[in-house]
Amino acid sequence: MLPIVLLSVFGIVMLFLGFMKSRAVLLPAALLFLLVALGTSFLDWGHSYLYFRDMLLVNNQTILFSAITMLSAFMVIALSGDFLQDEAAQPAEYYAIMLFSIVGAIMMIGFENLIMLFVGVEILSVSMYVLTGSDKKNIRSNEAALKYFLMGAFATGIMLFGMALLYGAVGSFTITDITAFVSLSRGGISLLLLMGLMLVLIGMLFKVSAAPFHFWTPDVYDGAPTLFTAFMSTVVKTAGFAALLRLLMAVSATSMYDRWWQIVAGITVLTLLAGNLTAVYQNSFKRMMAYSSISHAGYLLIALAALGQQSNGALAFYSLAYSVATIAAFGILLLVAKQRGKDGQRDETYEAFNGLAKQNPLLAFILAVSMLSLAGIPLTAGFWGKFMVFSTAVEKGMVWMLVVAVLMSAVGIYYYFRVVIAMYFRTGEVTAIRVAPFYRIVLIVATVLTIVLGLAPGLVQGLI
């Protein structure tokens, strides 16, 4: 598993690069490191290995999900060009933290031993706490970091407690043993196991911001610097769902599935309702994106509640579609909020986007495509993501869940289109937004990916 080793080393190298006088080398170095890690991750493609004393399983599923996180990180870092100009920013440290956090993400995605899951979650979470609070002079950023840290620490504690209970029930930390234990004990499932599973689930659901453990999300997303919001809403979510998938697959034997699916289904519905209905009332685009991220956790949860053959493919495709569109959206928010803001204050409301289509047709088009994709309109990747996730539900006979999800999708269209309306049909400032060439390329790549996956979903869907 080269990427874990490489990213750890690269992270340290990154810190040393920070001592250099020239900041110009940092961004290309970070991108290069990620590209190398991304490339080497595919060396294991088609094989299935256990690493680190059977603590980590690497198979196609692990590779695909970690490739999505690395791609997301690559795009986010590529959008960070303005950071280098920012006096107070510490780009070397930020890049190093992001590289380290990907290591945590890969551990979560490929864990074979619950300890590995725990270590991965902690690496990722602690990185996020730091990044959230990185805007030291901004009081909202500080508040968000503290809030995230305190609540995250609780969630971790609960998860650890759950793992202890699982150990008590099974006598082992490994996924293989848990699977064997569950499939052997027909009918009588120990309460200890179920309790342990629920507590671990709570910890993980907190990380992916599923209701009712989502209350930190809007404040933290809002308070964190936008770049890191983009990072956490994509990488953390992908890693979290991959981990949940592996955990729940381990306990998917019918006798056990019958015990937990209603609970997960209930959380799914709750998450869909909480995310979508609250997003409608937001006046800030950034807060809307936070609630939208909760709602997407809901859609992804459908594939877990209806766990089956198609679930991993659906989750991977959905994560990819969601990540690409979200990064494009946050990337444009970064530009608009900064350049349309007044008196050094960022303007993150919908009004900031007024008339964007007149001055910056390309930016408006990119944001429109990403909104269409998040809303799940056909011919974008987001549609197929939703389609695959919905299919898993119908395959398990949960048509009622599909109806809820579809109604909430319609609600989603309402708030995603508010920004489209602002950009295309309202008039705003006449000054055009300046976009650096490289920045533009990243945004275009995101849009092209969204459209290509929308036209030919088979490209990724065939991988798993």
Nearest one of 118, 98, 97, 99 to 107, comparing CA atoms:
118
Question: Considering beta carbons, is residue 32 or 456 the nearer one to another protein?
Answer: 456
Q: With binding defined as CB under 8 A, does residue 426 bind another protein?
A: yes
Whole-number minimum distance, CB 327 to another protein, in Å?
Answer: 22
Q: Are 7 and 13 in contact (CB under 8 A)?
A: no
Residue of the chain from 139, 410, 436, 441 that contacts another protein (CB under 8 A): 410
CA distance 127 to 123: 6
Question: Considering beta carbons, is residue 153 or 410 the nearer one to another protein?
Answer: 410
For residue 48, the one-letter residue type is S
Nearest one of 165, 154, 39, 61 to 114, comparing CA atoms:
165
Q: With binding defined as CB under 8 A, does residue 435 bind another protein?
A: no
Tell me if residue 35 falls in helix, strand or coil.
helix
Question: Considering beta carbons, is residue 232 or 306 the nearer one to another protein?
Answer: 306
Question: Considering beta carbons, is residue 426 or 440 the nearer one to another protein?
Answer: 426
Whole-number minimum distance, CB 281 to another protein, in Å?
Answer: 17
- CA dihedral 157→159→164→169, nearest 10 degrees, is 150
Question: Considering beta carbons, is residue 99 or 372 the nearer one to another protein?
Answer: 372
Q: Are 417 and 350 in contact (CB under 8 A)?
A: no
Residue of the chain from 413, 433, 444, 445 that contacts another protein (CB under 8 A): 413
Where are the strands (E) in 36-101, listed by range? 49-51, 56-58
- Which stretch of DSSP H or E encloses residue 159? helix 139-170
Q: With binding defined as CB under 8 A, does residue 425 bind another protein?
A: yes
Whole-number minimum distance, CB 271 to another protein, in Å?
Answer: 19
Distances (CA, A) of 20 to 23, 26, 60, 456: 7, 9, 39, 45
Q: With binding defined as CB under 8 A, does residue 414 bind another protein?
A: yes
Whole-number minimum distance, CB 250 to another protein, in Å?
Answer: 24
CA distance 386 to 382: 6
Q: With binding defined as CB under 8 A, does residue 379 bind another protein?
A: yes
Query: By rule CB under 8 A, what count of residues binds another protein?
Result: 31
Whole-number minimum distance, CB 417 to another protein, in Å?
Answer: 7
H helices present in 232-310, as ranges: 237-250, 254-279, 285-305
Q: Which residues are at the interface with another protein (CB under 8 A)? A: 313, 372, 377-379, 383-384, 387, 390-391, 394-395, 399, 402-403, 406-407, 409-410, 413-414, 417, 421, 424-426, 456-458, 461-462
